[in-house]
Every structure is written in C-alpha cells, then in structure tokens.
Amino acid sequence: MADLSVNFAGIRAPNPFWLASAPPTNSGAQIHRAFEHGWGGAVWKTIGAPVLNISNRYAGLSIAGQRLLAINNVELISDRPLDVNLREIAEIKRLWPDRAVIVSAMVDASPEAWREIVMMIEDTGADGIELNYGCPQGMSERGMGAAVGQVPEMCELNTHWVTSVTRLPVIVKLTPNVTRITEPAHAAIAGGANALSLINTINSVMSVDLDTLQITPNIGGRGTHGGYAGPAVKPIALNMLTELLTDPQVLRSGVPVCGMGGIVTWKDAAEFLLLGAGAVQVCTAAMHYGYRIVEDMIDGLSNWMDDKGFATIADVSGRALPQVSTFGELDLGYQAVARIDPDKCIQCNLCYVACNDTAHQCIDLVAGNGVRVDPGYDVRVNGKAVADTRPTPVVREPDCVGCALCANVCPVDGCITMVSVPGTQQSVSWDALTAQRPEIASSWDAMMAYRAEQGIEIH
C-alpha cells in the first residue's frame, strides 16, 4: 500500500487530509470524533479576539436540485472562551499524539497581542500555528483577517511578530481577495513563515430572495457580504495554488503549501497534490456529509497511488506542475476536433444548440436518411413523421475549431470526445511568433497576411 503520511513544515500526520479551521473544528469533542474516523490533522477553529456571532450564518448555492455547490458564511472566529479552547487543544494533542493539531489564531495587529496568544498556544503542545489572514467578514472590519492579508506590509509585519517569538512551525493562511496572490505570499515568507495555506473564503453576496426581497442569509431583515466556499471554488483555488508554486520567489524559499477550497472527494485532493500541495484541508464537504467522508478519501487516494505506482505523497506532489504554462507559450498549431459517438448519443441536441447559437456553427443535425435537417421541423418520410429518423448531431470537422463547448454541455459521459488531429498550420507559440514577426500583434493587415500564408480560415 502507498504511504500516505506527510511531513509538512515539520508537522507530521498519518495522511494529508486535514480539517480546515471552521465549524467542524470548533471543539475538542468534534475533533476527537473526526480523528476516530481517520482525519490526519485538524486546524482548530480560529481563536483570539472576543466576538459575538449572529444567526442566520449560512446561505447555500443549489443548482438543478444539487445542494450546497457552494456555501456563504457570515460566521466569525470561535466564540468559545479562550481558556476552554486552550484546555481542549491540550487534551486532544495528549489523546492523539500522532495527529497534526494546528491552532488557527487571529488577534489585534500588535506585537503584544501576538506574543500573548502564541505563548498560550505553545503551552498546549500543539504542533503548529496557522495565522488567519483571510477571514473576509466581521473581523476584517476590525483590522484583522483579510485586512492584514490584503496589505503585504501588514502581512509581513504580523508574521514577523509571531515567528520571532515561537519555535513552532508558522503557517500563513492567505486570502484570495487580492489581485495577485503572490504578493502576500512573498510578504509572509519575508516575515519568516514556515508554510503557506490557501485559499480562504471569497468575498460574496449569495443571493436575494425574490419573494421577500431579502438578501440571504437574512439576519433580522438585513444582510451582508460573507465568505464563499465549497465545490464551486475549486478551480479558483487550483489556479492560485499554481500561481504560488510556479512563482520563482516562492520556489526559492522552499516553503510548502497546504491546499484547500472545494475539496469533496479524494480525486479533488489528488488534483491539489499534483499541483504541488503538501497537504490539503477540507471544510464544506465535512459540513455537508460528515466526518466519515475521510474514509473514502483515504481509500480512494491510496488505491489510485497504487495504480499509478506512487509510493509516497512526495511522489505525487507537484507532478503536474511542469505542464503549467502561460498562454504565450502554448502551441498555436495544435489542433483538436470534436467527435460524437452515435452509439452513445441520446439525440438531445444540446451540442447542436450550444454550437449553433454560441460557438462556431459546425454541428449539423442529420436525419436517418443522411439528409441535413432544420431543427424545429418534423423529419418526414413519405409525408409521415417517423421516430427512427430523429436527427443526429454530426460535426463538420473541417470547420471545427476545437473549442470543446459541445463536449462540456453533453450530458452523456464519453459521448463527445476531443480528438487530436494533424495540424495544418505552423507549430509555434504566440511569444515565438511575435518575436519573429512583431507586426502581427499590432496590425490586422499583417495578421491577415500570416493567416493567408498558413491557410487559416476563420468562418
């Protein structure tokens, strides 16, 4: 079996699946139960400044009957007394010495406040500290959370105040609510961070109730922005992870990154690992399905690693990173076309509609007798409509640009595949082409001349 154990910035755990700092890690009793199910670690719900929470706290995004594709929360950090949290942290670490117990912290931006909370955390025997620079609601208005993470100078300064007074590994949790995620990352590293984690929640307003006209969640007739998380944010998290782990300054520092944002299954976790994460954190999925989901995560990742021949998490981490590129480095001569498997096609014609209305008009509807038909009209043979002549979508490959919209709207797995075909134009990247012929980037006449040379037709 594959070895799932991790050593993340000196923090050891039996597997890379950790619960994120959030309601699932609010108390010792919860974390004890989570560890019984097999979670490799937990980041304690953020402790620090005193708060009062509100209700309602959550709003969910549902589409076509699928619940909780995303969640918006306006919950603050832990509202449990500090001494209670600290006592339970120490107890959990005593009971579970092999699990990663990390404490998330957030206090006023002063060296005194940070020193005080750090000393308390160290006394619990916790394995590490995560600095919450990401919370976008409630705490940021008080100069904490995202208010620190969005200002690189504050990020570096606050991090330095912590790293200068502790021997514990310090993880800085980054906010996604910035233009360039690398800037606060550089600041955290300059402040002495031992590791980074991302993403925290995205600033959002979930919805407006069309019956009551109230923003959701409705808090006594008012609403506010909150933190957006769940499966819908995974592509954003993966992008920010790759931005960090392809950044030369981050790479030179050698700091590991813990990935989170939309992880529901072992497959999601494997994607984060392949893009360079050293461990992963999970929140919304645990809130939706309970702690037991980690059992499938462990089995699924272990079996996949065995199938692929990966012995350790280190063998997986970063394996997909060499593929990451800029648009300017991509091969303009590469060509793919859509192919529809007629045996799998259910003739819903969604591909035709998508292509005809919003893409490149290269899919025809063809009747059973080979006649191209106009949608919206009955297909008739000898004047009578017949079921077996219902039109089937067929791709005109010479006109297909390989956009893959049809493959993405098709409801049948494997019915439409994108197939590589021999390219008819020069294999060259945009950067290389414009270096050779810079006029192409600024003159449509030059562009059209190049297209004519290469036989490129845009219909």
- Which residues are catalytic, by number? 135
**Nearest CA to 241 among 192, 286, 182, 188?**
182
Q: Which residue has the tokens 């006592």?
A: 87
Buried b (16+ CB within 10 A) or exposed e, 16-41: bbbbbbbbbbbbbebbeebbeebbbb
Residue 279 pairs in a beta bridge with 258
Phi, psi of 198 (to 5 degrees): -165, 155
SS3 418: strand
Alpha carbon distance 260, 16 (integer Å): 11
Determine the Cα–Cα distance for residues 46 and 104; give it in Å rounded to an integer. 4
Distance CA 293, CA 17 (A): 10
User: Can you tell me the distance from the alpha carbon of 199 to that of 140, in angstroms, rounded to the nearest whole number?
Assistant: 16
- Placement of tokens 């990352």 in the chain: 185
CA neighbor of 20 nearest in space, from 247, 199, 265, 283: 283
The pair of structure tokens assigned to 187 is 């600041």
State the amino acid at position 315 in one-letter form. D
Place of tokens 């750090």: 118
